[in-house]
Protein backbone atom coordinates (compact mmCIF):
# COMPACT_ATOMS: atom_id res chain seq x y z
CA UNK A 1 0.00 0.00 0.00
CA UNK A 2 1.12 3.59 -0.63
CA UNK A 3 2.98 5.82 1.81
CA UNK A 4 2.77 8.85 -0.48
CA UNK A 5 1.58 12.20 0.87
CA UNK A 6 0.48 15.13 -1.30
CA UNK A 7 1.16 18.63 0.07
CA UNK A 8 -1.10 21.31 -1.43
CA UNK A 9 0.29 24.69 -0.32
CA UNK A 10 0.94 27.93 -2.21
CA UNK A 11 3.89 29.08 -0.07
CA UNK A 12 7.13 27.42 -1.15
CA UNK A 13 8.89 27.72 2.23
CA UNK A 14 6.02 26.04 4.05
CA UNK A 15 5.85 23.25 1.47
CA UNK A 16 9.57 22.67 1.93
CA UNK A 17 9.37 22.53 5.73
CA UNK A 18 6.46 20.09 5.56
CA UNK A 19 8.33 17.94 3.05
CA UNK A 20 11.44 17.76 5.25
CA UNK A 21 9.43 16.89 8.38
CA UNK A 22 7.52 14.08 6.67
CA UNK A 23 10.36 12.65 4.61
CA UNK A 24 12.29 12.17 7.85
CA UNK A 25 9.38 10.05 9.06
CA UNK A 26 9.56 7.82 5.97
CA UNK A 27 6.88 9.29 3.72
CA UNK A 28 7.23 9.89 0.00
CA UNK A 29 6.21 13.48 -0.73
CA UNK A 30 4.82 15.28 -3.76
CA UNK A 31 3.91 18.97 -3.89
CA UNK A 32 1.17 21.06 -5.50
CA UNK A 33 1.28 24.85 -5.65
CA UNK A 34 -2.48 25.54 -5.41
CA UNK A 35 -5.89 23.87 -5.40
CA UNK A 36 -6.08 23.44 -9.17
CA UNK A 37 -2.64 21.81 -9.28
CA UNK A 38 -3.58 19.74 -6.25
CA UNK A 39 -6.72 18.39 -7.92
CA UNK A 40 -4.74 17.48 -11.02
CA UNK A 41 -2.17 15.53 -9.02
CA UNK A 42 -4.82 14.03 -6.70
CA UNK A 43 -6.53 12.22 -9.59
CA UNK A 44 -8.88 9.63 -8.16
CA UNK A 45 -7.12 9.76 -4.79
CA UNK A 46 -5.94 6.16 -4.72
CA UNK A 47 -2.27 7.08 -5.07
CA UNK A 48 -2.15 8.96 -1.77
CA UNK A 49 -2.05 7.82 1.85
CA UNK A 50 -2.95 11.35 2.93
CA UNK A 51 -3.22 14.92 1.65
CA UNK A 52 -2.12 18.07 3.48
CA UNK A 53 -4.32 20.88 2.18
CA UNK A 54 -3.87 24.60 2.85
CA UNK A 55 -7.05 26.62 3.30
CA UNK A 56 -6.17 30.08 1.98
CA UNK A 57 -4.87 29.77 -1.59
CA UNK A 58 -5.36 31.74 -4.81
CA UNK A 59 -7.75 30.58 -7.56
CA UNK A 60 -9.35 27.80 -5.50
CA UNK A 61 -9.41 27.79 -1.70
CA UNK A 62 -8.92 24.76 0.50
CA UNK A 63 -12.57 24.09 1.29
CA UNK A 64 -13.52 23.99 -2.39
CA UNK A 65 -10.52 21.80 -3.15
CA UNK A 66 -11.51 19.52 -0.26
CA UNK A 67 -15.09 19.29 -1.54
CA UNK A 68 -13.91 18.25 -5.01
CA UNK A 69 -11.36 15.75 -3.71
CA UNK A 70 -13.95 14.06 -1.48
CA UNK A 71 -16.38 13.93 -4.39
CA UNK A 72 -13.77 11.99 -6.37
CA UNK A 73 -12.77 9.74 -3.48
CA UNK A 74 -14.87 9.79 -0.28
CA UNK A 75 -12.32 7.54 1.48
CA UNK A 76 -9.40 9.93 0.96
CA UNK A 77 -7.62 11.19 4.09
CA UNK A 78 -7.33 14.97 3.87
CA UNK A 79 -5.84 17.18 6.60
CA UNK A 80 -6.70 20.88 6.47
CA UNK A 81 -3.83 23.21 7.39
CA UNK A 82 -4.49 26.91 8.01
CA UNK A 83 -3.24 29.99 9.83
CA UNK A 84 -6.80 31.29 9.96
CA UNK A 85 -8.25 28.66 12.24
CA UNK A 86 -11.69 29.09 13.73
CA UNK A 87 -14.39 26.84 15.09
CA UNK A 88 -16.59 27.67 12.09
CA UNK A 89 -13.86 26.77 9.60
CA UNK A 90 -13.08 23.53 11.43
CA UNK A 91 -16.77 22.58 11.45
CA UNK A 92 -17.10 23.36 7.74
CA UNK A 93 -14.02 21.28 6.95
CA UNK A 94 -15.26 18.32 8.99
CA UNK A 95 -18.68 18.50 7.34
CA UNK A 96 -16.96 18.25 3.98
CA UNK A 97 -15.06 15.19 5.16
CA UNK A 98 -11.70 16.47 6.40
CA UNK A 99 -9.84 13.91 8.49
CA UNK A 100 -8.05 16.46 10.66
CA UNK A 101 -7.53 20.20 11.11
CA UNK A 102 -4.05 21.59 11.91
CA UNK A 103 -3.32 25.22 12.72
CA UNK A 104 -0.29 27.16 11.48
CA UNK A 105 2.32 27.68 12.68
CA UNK A 106 2.75 24.02 13.49
CA UNK A 107 5.65 21.88 14.62
CA UNK A 108 7.17 18.84 12.86
CA UNK A 109 5.86 16.58 15.62
CA UNK A 110 2.28 17.86 15.35
CA UNK A 111 2.42 17.54 11.56
CA UNK A 112 3.82 14.00 11.68
CA UNK A 113 1.30 12.97 14.34
CA UNK A 114 -1.60 14.26 12.24
CA UNK A 115 -0.41 12.39 9.15
CA UNK A 116 0.36 9.25 11.15
CA UNK A 117 -3.13 9.27 12.65
CA UNK A 118 -4.76 9.81 9.25
CA UNK A 119 -2.74 7.03 7.67
CA UNK A 120 -3.45 4.66 10.58
CA UNK A 121 -7.19 5.07 10.04
CA UNK A 122 -6.62 3.69 6.59
CA UNK A 123 -4.79 0.66 7.90
CA UNK A 124 -1.25 1.66 6.90
CA UNK A 125 1.77 2.61 8.97
CA UNK A 126 4.35 5.25 7.92
CA UNK A 127 6.34 2.78 5.82
CA UNK A 128 3.31 1.28 4.12
CA UNK A 129 2.90 -1.90 6.17
CA UNK A 130 -0.34 -3.35 7.46
CA UNK A 131 -1.19 -1.63 10.74
CA UNK A 132 -2.53 -4.78 12.37
CA UNK A 133 0.85 -6.46 11.86
CA UNK A 134 2.77 -3.49 13.23
CA UNK A 135 0.65 -2.44 16.25
CA UNK A 136 -1.60 -3.69 18.97
CA UNK A 137 -4.76 -5.67 18.48
CA UNK A 138 -8.18 -4.44 19.55
CA UNK A 139 -7.97 -6.75 22.58
CA UNK A 140 -5.01 -4.73 23.88
CA UNK A 141 -7.04 -1.53 24.05
CA UNK A 142 -9.59 -0.42 26.64
CA UNK A 143 -13.26 -0.85 25.82
CA UNK A 144 -14.00 2.87 26.28
CA UNK A 145 -11.48 5.53 25.23
CA UNK A 146 -11.32 8.93 23.58
CA UNK A 147 -9.29 9.67 20.46
CA UNK A 148 -8.05 13.12 19.45
CA UNK A 149 -7.93 14.04 15.79
CA UNK A 150 -4.13 14.05 15.80
CA UNK A 151 -3.88 10.47 16.97
CA UNK A 152 -3.71 10.53 20.79
CA UNK A 153 -5.88 8.04 22.67
CA UNK A 154 -6.77 8.32 26.35
CA UNK A 155 -9.05 6.73 28.93
CA UNK A 156 -9.69 6.99 32.70
CA UNK A 157 -7.20 5.24 34.92
CA UNK A 158 -9.18 2.24 36.24
CA UNK A 159 -7.63 2.73 39.68
CA UNK A 160 -8.90 6.26 40.29
CA UNK A 161 -11.53 7.18 42.87
CA UNK A 162 -13.01 10.51 41.69
CA UNK A 163 -15.30 10.98 44.68
CA UNK A 164 -12.33 11.09 47.02
CA UNK A 165 -10.22 13.90 45.54
CA UNK A 166 -10.11 16.83 43.15
CA UNK A 167 -7.98 14.97 40.60
CA UNK A 168 -8.89 12.86 37.60
CA UNK A 169 -6.33 10.36 36.36
CA UNK A 170 -5.98 9.10 32.79
CA UNK A 171 -3.79 6.86 30.70
CA UNK A 172 -2.65 8.57 27.49
CA UNK A 173 -1.33 6.72 24.45
CA UNK A 174 0.58 8.79 21.89
CA UNK A 175 0.45 8.08 18.12
CA UNK A 176 3.55 5.86 18.47
CA UNK A 177 1.79 3.64 21.00
CA UNK A 178 3.69 4.86 24.09
CA UNK A 179 1.52 5.15 27.19
CA UNK A 180 1.90 7.53 30.14
CA UNK A 181 -0.27 8.41 33.15
CA UNK A 182 -1.65 11.95 33.21
CA UNK A 183 -3.50 13.70 36.04
CA UNK A 184 -5.91 16.62 35.65
CA UNK A 185 -6.18 18.69 38.83
CA UNK A 186 -9.49 20.53 39.37
CA UNK A 187 -8.50 23.80 41.00
CA UNK A 188 -10.63 25.38 43.78
CA UNK A 189 -11.00 28.48 41.59
CA UNK A 190 -12.85 26.43 38.97
CA UNK A 191 -15.21 24.95 41.56
CA UNK A 192 -15.88 28.36 43.10
CA UNK A 193 -16.51 29.95 39.71
CA UNK A 194 -18.91 27.20 38.70
CA UNK A 195 -20.91 27.36 41.93
CA UNK A 196 -21.01 31.16 41.84
CA UNK A 197 -22.36 31.22 38.30
CA UNK A 198 -24.80 28.32 38.70
CA UNK A 199 -25.94 29.00 42.28
CA UNK A 200 -25.57 25.28 42.87
CA UNK A 201 -23.30 23.01 44.86
CA UNK A 202 -21.30 21.01 42.31
CA UNK A 203 -19.72 18.12 44.22
CA UNK A 204 -16.13 17.38 43.24
CA UNK A 205 -16.96 13.71 42.81
CA UNK A 206 -19.75 14.40 40.29
CA UNK A 207 -19.73 13.41 36.67
CA UNK A 208 -19.57 17.04 35.54
CA UNK A 209 -15.97 17.38 36.69
CA UNK A 210 -14.94 14.11 35.08
CA UNK A 211 -16.36 15.33 31.77
CA UNK A 212 -14.59 18.69 32.11
CA UNK A 213 -11.27 17.02 32.95
CA UNK A 214 -11.61 14.77 29.90
CA UNK A 215 -12.44 17.77 27.69
CA UNK A 216 -9.45 19.73 29.00
CA UNK A 217 -7.08 16.84 28.37
CA UNK A 218 -8.43 16.20 24.88
CA UNK A 219 -8.10 19.89 23.97
CA UNK A 220 -4.52 20.00 25.23
CA UNK A 221 -3.48 16.88 23.33
CA UNK A 222 -4.98 18.21 20.11
CA UNK A 223 -3.57 21.74 20.31
CA UNK A 224 -0.15 20.92 21.81
CA UNK A 225 0.41 17.62 20.02
CA UNK A 226 2.17 16.26 23.10
CA UNK A 227 1.53 14.79 26.54
CA UNK A 228 1.42 17.52 29.25
CA UNK A 229 4.85 18.18 30.83
CA UNK A 230 5.28 16.19 33.99
CA UNK A 231 2.09 14.28 33.24
CA UNK A 232 0.00 16.99 34.89
CA UNK A 233 -2.68 19.43 33.71
CA UNK A 234 -4.78 21.96 35.64
CA UNK A 235 -8.47 22.71 35.14
CA UNK A 236 -9.03 26.29 36.26
CA UNK A 237 -12.25 27.36 34.49
CA UNK A 238 -15.60 25.91 33.45
CA UNK A 239 -17.51 27.06 30.39
CA UNK A 240 -21.17 28.09 30.36
CA UNK A 241 -22.24 25.12 28.25
CA UNK A 242 -20.92 22.79 30.94
CA UNK A 243 -22.84 24.72 33.59
CA UNK A 244 -26.04 24.39 31.56
CA UNK A 245 -25.41 20.66 31.39
CA UNK A 246 -24.89 20.55 35.16
CA UNK A 247 -28.24 22.22 35.75
CA UNK A 248 -29.96 19.69 33.47
CA UNK A 249 -28.37 16.88 35.48
CA UNK A 250 -29.70 18.56 38.63
CA UNK A 251 -33.24 18.44 37.28
CA UNK A 252 -32.89 14.93 35.88
CA UNK A 253 -31.27 12.64 38.43
CA UNK A 254 -30.49 14.69 41.52
CA UNK A 255 -26.75 14.18 41.23
CA UNK A 256 -26.21 17.91 41.55
CA UNK A 257 -28.33 19.43 44.31
CA UNK A 258 -28.97 22.88 45.80
CA UNK A 259 -26.85 24.23 48.59
- Report DSSP letters for 205-249, one per residue: TSHHHHHHHHHHHHHHHHHH-SPPGGGEEEE----HHHHHHHHHH
For the chain, give the mean pLDDT.
Answer: 78
Full DSSP string of 50-99: EEEEESS-SSS-HHHHHHHHHHH-TT--EEEEESS--HHHHHHHHHTT-S
pLDDT higher than threshold 50 for residue 234: yes
User: Distance between CA atoms of 170 and 110, rounded to whole angstroms?
Assistant: 21
* pLDDT tens profile 58-76: 889 999 999 999 999 999 9
Query: What is the percentage of the chain residues whose pLDDT exceeds 70?
Result: 74
* pLDDT tens profile 110-142: 888 888 888 876 544 443 343 343 344 444 444
Backbone φ and ψ for 6, nearest 5 degrees, come out as -100, 125
pTM over 0.75, yes/no: no
More confident residue, 198 or 252: 198
* pLDDT tens profile 169-191: 999 988 888 899 999 999 988 88
Q: What separation, in Å, do the N-terminal and C-terminal C-alpha atoms of the chain show?
A: 61
Domains of the chain: 4-131 (3.40.50.2300), 138-253 (no CATH)
* pLDDT tens profile 79-106: 988 876 555 677 777 788 888 878 777 7
pLDDT higher than threshold 80 for residue 215: yes
- At residue 236 the predicted structure's pLDDT band, cuts being 50, 70 and 90, is confident
User: Distance between CA atoms of 94 and 83, rounded to whole angstroms?
Assistant: 17
pLDDT of residue 213: 86
Amino acid sequence: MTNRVLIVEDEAEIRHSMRVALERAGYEIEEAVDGVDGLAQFGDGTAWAAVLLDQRMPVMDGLETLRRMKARNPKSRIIMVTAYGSIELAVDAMKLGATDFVRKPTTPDILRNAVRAAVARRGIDPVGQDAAAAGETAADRPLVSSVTMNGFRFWPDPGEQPAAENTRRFIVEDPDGQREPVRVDILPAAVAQAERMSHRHLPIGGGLWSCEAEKALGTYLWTAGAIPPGGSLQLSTLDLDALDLALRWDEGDGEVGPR
